[in-house]
Amino acid sequence: MYNMNKLKNIFLFLLIFIFLINNFIFTAPRHVKVQINSNPQGVTVYVKGMPASIGTTPLISQFTIGRRYTLTFTKTGYQDKTINYFCDGNPIFVNMEGGSFDTRQYKLTVNSNINGANIFANDNKIGNTPLTARLQAGTYNIRVTNPGYTDYTTSVNLDRNQQIYANLQPIILQYRLTVNSNINGASVYINENKIGNTPLSTMLQAGTYNVRVSHPGYTDYNSTINLNENKQIYANLQAMKHKLTINSNVNNASVYLNSNKVGNIPYSTFLSPGTYNILVRHHGYKDFNTTVNLMSDQTIYANLESYFGISINLPKGAQLYINGEKQNLNWSEHEFWKVFYFTSFKEFNQVKIRYHGIDVEKSIKFDNRTVSLIFDIN
């Protein structure tokens, strides 16, 4: 008998335990948003147990299904009103007493190009688009908001049923683009439109941009950026080099750039933009001189004009005059005979040789032959 009573008690305990688990432990409280309105509107609402008001009518507030609440409504010129509310999800509406007010109500319909946008009447949220609500007659400041869009605001005098369409415009985000370069004053192009010179700082709408930085004599800097935050670009411009090619009618002629010998014909090189003095020289030909402003690839042709020349073999101590002009002759200590080469713009020239007091003078054709003192001059 004792064992049977003990088993009954255990069974009863298990039933109570299962009931408690099902009803209190695993049953989460359900919350619901309740619309609260009043006549007149603009009434301040307090919930017992909460330190501050929950807003002014009309408003939407969250309550727990199945729970009892005590709400107090206050407004200057009206008697306070307190009600008990058992939350079942239905809206709350109270009529205030003690003042004169308009009891008329009208429908306000609010639509938008954005579904679910928040709707505020006199800064109190009354719902989301699309919405049709009954409001007391009066003037309302309506505001429709949605993240990422500019607020829509309007004022309505609700003296009849009215409709509002809130066309929300997306917020255009802007960011700062800063462009610097090793070359101040370089041109900055955004999507091939010049917007300024380095250093540059500008505000642009968020998006993708092609950035080009350009300066004469330098290779363009190009970059594609996704402007989703403030960004900086540093354009390190590299000096541009151009090809200079020099040809001539005389192969192996010497080439000089800015008085420095750099090679022989045919000659080509890559140089930075700038001005260069070019000299092409070869024995027996007139020098070719020119100046180039190298801003692109260039080819120079040096057409060398030949001199009339002659080689004369002279003994040490002889003196030579060409067309009456004494020539500068030099022998080393151990030279007794030496061949000297002379050039002239004329084919025939008057040559005089003086040696040990004897003068020999003749008109000689400069045809690049070699002649000796007196004996070969004929």
Q: What is the rounded CA–CA span in Å between residue 94 and residue 112? A: 30
Question: Residue 285 in contact with residue 307, Cβ under 8 Å?
Answer: yes
23-32, 150-159, 348-357: which range is least confident on average?
23-32
Instruction: Say if CB 209 and CB 222 are below 8 A apart.
Output: no
Distance CA 145, CA 118 (A): 5
For position 378, what pLDDT does the model report?
45
Bigger pLDDT: 370 vs 20: 370
Those residues whose C-beta lies under 8 Å from the C-beta of residue 74, and which sit 6 or more positions away, are 43, 44, 46, 80, 81
Query: For the segment 11-42, what is each residue's pLDDT rounded down to a tens digit?
Result: 677 766 666 555 544 456 789 999 999 988 88
Place of tokens 């040096």: 302
| Percent of the residues in the chain that have a pLDDT greater than 90, as a whole number | 61
Angle at 370 between CA 365 and CA 376, to 5 degrees: 75
- The residue written with tokens 């610097």 in the block is 180
CATH of domain 176-235: 2.60.40.1120
Residue pLDDT, tens place only, 261-320: 999 999 999 998 889 999 999 987 889 999 999 888 999 999 998 778 888 999 998 999
The predicted pLDDT at position 373 comes to 60
The 3-state DSSP class for residue 344 equals strand
Which region among 53-62, 167-176, 342-351 has the lowest average model confidence (pLDDT)?
A: 342-351
Omega before residue 199 within 30° of 0, cis: yes
Among 96, 83, 86, residue whose Cα is nearest residue 57: 96
Q: What is the DSSP letter of 179?
A: E
Q: Contact, 373 vs 315, CB < 8 A?
A: yes
Q: What is the pLDDT of residues 185-210, one digit of tens each?
A: 999 999 999 999 999 999 999 999 99
User: Cα 144 to the chain's mean position, in Å?
Assistant: 35
Same fold, 31-95 and 176-235: yes
Domain 105-166 has what CATH class?
Answer: mainly beta
Helix, strand or coil for residue 372? strand
19-22 long-range contacts, Cβ below 8 Å, gap at least 24?
none
| Assigned fold of 242-302 | Immunoglobulin-like (2.60.40)
Domain ranges of the chain: 31-95, 105-166, 176-235, 242-302, 308-372
Q: DSSP character for 13? A: H
The predicted model scores a pTM of 0.39
Residue range 82-140, pLDDT digits in tens: 999 999 989 999 998 876 555 688 999 999 999 999 999 999 999 999 999 999 888 89
Summary mean pLDDT of the chain: 88
Q: What is the CATH number of domain 31-95?
A: 2.60.40.1120
Compute the 3-state secondary structure of the chain and give helix, strand, coil in percent, each to the nearest 5.
5, 55, 40
Q: Calculate ∠ Cα 151-154-158, nearest 5°.
A: 140
